[in-house]
Structure 1
């Protein structure tokens, strides 16, 4: 990001205490290691695009309901759809909504450079990357909780009717979020005033307001971004966190706030920190490094174990 401070000012009131925007892996898909193709289907819940993936034997065999929230690459990303399919193969009816309403992040992947680019080519590349960073910053400024939360609420209301059996089987809704989506899993796991849950700005009128409890039974988050101290202070539902060591998008002070809140509230949690991996490592996609591949598999197993044990 060319200006990480700019990237967080619009979405968060206490942005200076959050990670700096989003990283490359939040807005760009990694290579598809097996050239695998999605097996679920795109549908609509009202006017919201949703990718749905189900276990092969559903509904003959019961399954739990999983709300999967994506990185900036969004619902139409092949990698995200395959990620949903993988969870479906583990016994979940997976609902992955378009939380951006067709406004997924601009592709910020660097243009491949020549081995020895000329001075002119270097200038062009720098200009292109600056323009992309600006577009991502502008995109991020549009993706506020006031915009995203109402979309998630509509989807949750829709699944309560359409997949009541899966929700009943799991005794609630489970949720997993990667990168950008991670913040919203944490929010859904929290207790908030009606104004926040409804996606409306807060004000002095919230004093004395009855708060709503968590909208999910349990959640898991991989390398979240834009998480605030207030997000963690509101958490009431069990959470698992797969974090990246020295992650500027999820600073240590924010993680420590989470640890403190979990301990003070006696909330069930599982925090694992993975070293030597980039932000975004847990999202489906190929890496050359065996160590990153191993960590990716470990993070998925951490999340899956957490979901199945709650």
Structure 2
């Protein structure tokens, strides 16, 4: 979907170096990582990403003919999960290339990024949110009005917040160096499975 252009973060230093040269190297590496991420985001705007996503889901639905659809968005994908959950419930108000939207039962967003409060307005389907405390990529100034929108629109939702974890902790991976992250990742995965089963089965 990203045309062989994944956003691959550079490895962070395990601990801040104490010598001046080491600190300069760490600052340079951090700046380069930030620059590469900014460049990646510039190439993957909503205007470019959304039509591709709609087409991909449409092809999957055509191929497998599912009876129901559940959407899960991690970080960058969180915004698009919310956008899918905003789509009209009836086919009369749905674009032709999004007829599959009526099949969507629920969505899950895990530590979303690039989300704005307005992205929660108009969500129509049940939503599970998995977040971390003090997440600079999903701050309270976005979360609190987002929750208010969900409440105002009578959307069935659940928010599970984890503390002392990095953004991205729930992405499936091998965290052998941190048992705490690994355990919380597994807990988040169980919550997602339980949520989906409760609404699908």
TM-score by length of 1: 0.55
Contact 2:131–2:159 under 8 Å retained in 1: yes
The equivalent position to 1:108 in structure 2, one of 1, 4, 10, is 10
Among 163, 170, 193, which residue is 1:304 paired with?
A: 193
Aligned to 1:175: 71
How many residues were matched structurally?
A: 189
Larger helix proportion, structure 1 or 2?
A: 2
| Structure 2: distance between partners of 1:292 and 1:161 | 38
CA contact (8 A) 2:122 2:153 kept: no
CA displacement at 1:227 relative to structure 2: 0.7
Contact 1:108 1:133 in 2 (8 A): no
8 A Cα contact 2:69 2:106, kept in partner: yes
Q: Helix, strand or coil for the counterpart of 1:272? A: strand
What's the CA shift string for 1:202-247, capped at 9, x where partnerless?
A: xxxxxxxx67699232111110011111110021111100010111
* Distance in 2 (alpha carbons) for counterparts of 1:139 and 1:290: 31
Alignment pair present for 1:191 and 2:87:
yes
CA separation in 1, counterparts of 2:146 and 2:158?
Answer: 11
Q: 1:294 to 1:233 in 2, by over 3 A?
A: same
**SS of alignment partner, residue 145 of structure 2:** helix
**What is the CA RMSD across the aligned residues, in angstroms?**
2.4
Where does structure 2 lack aligned partners over 5 or more consecutive residues? none
Matches within 5 A, 1:259-298: 259-285=147-173, 286-298=175-187
Shift of 1:299: 1.0
Q: Given the alignment of the two structures, is residue 252 of structure 1 paired with residue 148 of structure 2, yes or no? A: no
Following superposition, the deviation at residue 121 of structure 1 comes to 4.4
Question: What is the SS of the residue equivalent to 1:107?
Answer: coil
Q: CA offsets, 1:96-127, max 9 Å, x none?
A: xx3x222211433236789655x444434422
2:48 to 144, 147, 152: 147
| CA spacing shift, 1:275–1:287, aligned 2, 3 Å | farther
When the two structures are superposed, what TM-score results if normalisation uses the length of structure 2? 0.83
Which 5+ residue runs of structure 1 have no aligned equivalent? 1-97, 193-209
Structure 1 range deviating more: 179-188 or 212-221: 212-221
Alignment of 1:20-59 (within 5 A): none
Q: Aligned partners of 1:120 and 1:129: how far apart in 2?
A: 14
Secondary structure class of the residue paired with 1:288: coil
